[in-house]
């Protein structure tokens, strides 16, 4: 391609449209970031996109004071819930794809209902169950709810992934003497890195961003950061500190962003490529 063609009207139109779309997505983020570093006076004086007259970290410090404790609550809820639901989903998917039993298709079909079940419909029964288990208003209870709710998705992911694993591979392993867990642990799990990453990102985003279960099943000091952020932003007393609100929102949103940046590259890796010809 010659350099002259870079300036053709068609090129300009394409790149112009793309830049516009980019701006559309990035402007809210830029507003949030700029606002979080402004002083309250600065916010009241300037417009949304103006450069801060003085960069100040006071908004971030105040925000961390307000939601920092809840940040760790979210970590304590999310990390175990993500890991447990992913591992159980992998096991479920393994059984449902490789060790079919009578009625396993029906079982899988019913499990899929879980993907379409609105959160609101399970609130009361879940609350009742947690109460009976003595887990009401605890982090453990919230982890349990998220694991159960997430299983439908993780099972679906792994089951479909394992269905595409060549049957000959499983047969070869069985002839080599691999049993149920050896086959799973030594052959299939190492092949599952891409789908594990998909699961981790999906579950992390779902659970970290969850508000409804958090607000219903956790109270007081056990609340996740989403609930704490809501409480902070919706306070009706005193002067509205937009810089603090924005910084707190950034703190609440950063981990999901980070997970995607770190794990996202595995999405594109097909680890089974070349394993089986034909």
Partner 1 sequence: MARLQLRNVNKTYGSGLPDTLKAIDLAIDSGEFLILVGPSGCGKSTLMNCIAGLEQISGGEILVDDADISGMSPKDRDIAMVFQSYALYPTMSVRDNIAFGLKIRKMPQAAIDEEVARVAKLLQIEHLLARKPGQLSGGQQQRVAMGRALARRPKIYLFDEPLSNLDAKLRVEMRTEIKLMHQRLKTTTVYVTHDQIEAMTLGDKVAVMKDGVIQQFGTPQQIYNDPANLFVASFIGSPPMNFIPVRLAREDGRLLALLDSGQARCELPLEGGSAELESREVILGIRPEQIGLATGEGNGLPSLRAEVQITEPTGPDLLVFVTLNQTKVCCRLAPDVSCRIGDTLTLQFDPARVLLFDAASGERLDAHARTHDARDNVALFKGR
Binding site for partner 1 (CB under 8 A): 166, 168-169, 171-179, 182, 186-187, 190-191, 271-278
**Residue 174: CB minimum distance to partner 1, A:** 5
Q: Quick one: 134 or 278, whose CB is closer to partner 1?
A: 278
DSSP class per residue in the chain: --GGGGGSHHHHHHHHHHHHHHHHHHHHHHHHHHHHTS-HHHHHHS-TTSPPSS---HHHHHHHHHHHHHHHHHHHHHHHHHHHHHHHHHHHHHHHHHS--TTHHHHHHHHHHHHH--HHHHHHHHHHHHHHHT-TTSHHHHHHHHHHHHHHHHHHHHHHHHHTS-HHHHHHHHHTT--HHHIIIIIIHHHTHHHHHHHHHHHHHHHHH--HHHHHH--GGG--HHHHHHHHHT--SS---HHHHHHHHHHHHHHHHHHHHHHGGGGG--TTTTTS--
Q: Quick one: 156 or 187, whose CB is closer to partner 1?
A: 187
**Residue 186: CB minimum distance to partner 1, A:** 8
**Residue 171: CB minimum distance to partner 1, A:** 5
| Max Cα-Cα span within the chain | 75
Q: Quick one: 177 or 238, whose CB is closer to partner 1?
A: 177
Q: Quick one: 5 or 277, whose CB is closer to partner 1?
A: 277
**Residue 204: CB minimum distance to partner 1, A:** 24
Tokens standing for 237?
A: 């007393």
Q: Quick one: 168 or 258, whose CB is closer to partner 1?
A: 168
Q: Quick one: 18 or 271, whose CB is closer to partner 1?
A: 271
- Give the span between the Cα atoms of 88 and 92, in whole angstroms: 6
Q: Quick one: 74 or 97, whose CB is closer to partner 1?
A: 97
Other Cβ atoms less than 10 A from the Cβ of 84: the count is 19
Residues 6+ apart with CB under 8 A from 38: 46, 52, 53, 56, 59, 243
């Amino acid at each position: 391609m010659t350099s002259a063609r870079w300036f053709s009207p068609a090129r300009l139109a394409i790149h112009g449209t793309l830049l516009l779309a980019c701006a559309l997505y990035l402007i809210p983020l830029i507003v949030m970031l700029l606002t979080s570093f402004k002083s309250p006076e600065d916010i009241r004086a300037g417009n949304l996109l103006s450069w801060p007259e003085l960069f100040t970290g006071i908004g971030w410090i105040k925000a961390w004071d307000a939601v920092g404790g809840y940040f760790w609550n979210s970590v304590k809820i999310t990390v175990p819930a993500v890991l447990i639901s992913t591992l159980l989903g992998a096991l479920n998917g393994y059984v449902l794809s490789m060790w079919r039993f009578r009625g396993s298709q029906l079982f899988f079909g019913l499990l899929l209902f879980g993907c379409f079940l609105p959160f609101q419909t399970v609130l009361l029964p879940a609350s009742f169950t947690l109460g009976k288990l003595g887990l009401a208003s605890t982090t453990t209870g919230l982890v349990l709810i998220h694991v159960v709710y997430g299983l439908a998705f993780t099972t679906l992911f792994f089951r479909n992934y394992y269905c595409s694993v060549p049957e000959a591979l499983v047969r070869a392993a069985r002839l080599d003497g691999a049993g149920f867990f050896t086959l799973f642990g030594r052959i299939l799990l190492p092949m599952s890195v891409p789908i594990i990453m998909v699961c981790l990102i999906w579950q992390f985003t779902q659970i970290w961003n969850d508000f409804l279960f958090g607000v219903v099943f956790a109270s007081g000091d056990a609340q996740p950061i989403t609930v704490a952020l809501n409480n902070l932003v919706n306070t009706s007393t005193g002067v509205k500190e937009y810089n603090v609100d924005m910084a707190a929102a950034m703190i609440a949103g950063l981990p999901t962003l980070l997970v995607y940046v770190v794990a996202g590259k595995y999405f594109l890796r097909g680890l089974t490529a070349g394993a089986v010809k034909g």
